[in-house]
Amino acid sequence: MSGLTHLDENGAARMVDVGGKAETARSATATGRIAMNADALAAIRDDTVPKGDVLAAARIAGIMAAKKTGELIPLCHPLALDSVSVECALEQDAVRVTAIASLTGKTGVEMEAMVACNIALLTIYDMAKALDKGMVIQQVRLLSKTGGKSGDWHAANDPDEGA
């Protein structure tokens, strides 16, 4: 079982001990999109969705979710985030969500960025499902992370280009 950080010497799940690690500035960026029909996209763009401002609700939901990542993902550390931003951009047939989480700490914030992105996308679905039940959440991925022992990482290519 050696080499697996979330398993002890007996193979039992454990939270990684980060107590001896140095605090460093860390950030992570995640993105994803929700494809939908033209009517749903127009209603979101024109702020005429019956449930209210879809993009504002998605931003707030994503930020709230990032703060609860340690409660949602087993073995994740609860983190004191310095910043979380969630941006929504209209595309030709979708809404793209980009979430950025950052802190100065002993462990990374990749999961917080990913959770923020996913919950923002799910919120868009929930708010607009009366207009298009066939919406598809897709291409959710980590774009980059900075800081920590392993240093910076950036996705090698972007499969979303031209999407």
Binding-site residue positions for substrate: 75-77, 111-112
Residues placed in the known binding site: 75-77, 111-112
Sheet bearing 83-90, strands edge to edge: 83-90, 94-105, 24-35, 136-146, 153-154
Spell out where 91-129 has E strands: 94-105
CB neighbours (10 Å) of residue 125? 19
| Cross-strand partners of 34 | 95, 137
Which residue type does 60 have? Answer: I
CB neighbours (10 Å) of residue 7? 13
Is 160 a known active-site residue?
no
- Residue 16: helix, strand or coil by DSSP? coil
Which one, of 61, 55, 31, 32, lies nearest residue 43 by Cα? 55
At residue 65, what are phi and psi to the nearest 5 degrees? -65, -40
104-121: b or e for each residue (b if 16 or more CB lie within 10 Å)? ebbbbbbbbbbbbbbbbb
Q: Which of 82, 93, 126, 160 is catalytic?
A: 126
Residues labelled as active-site residues: 126
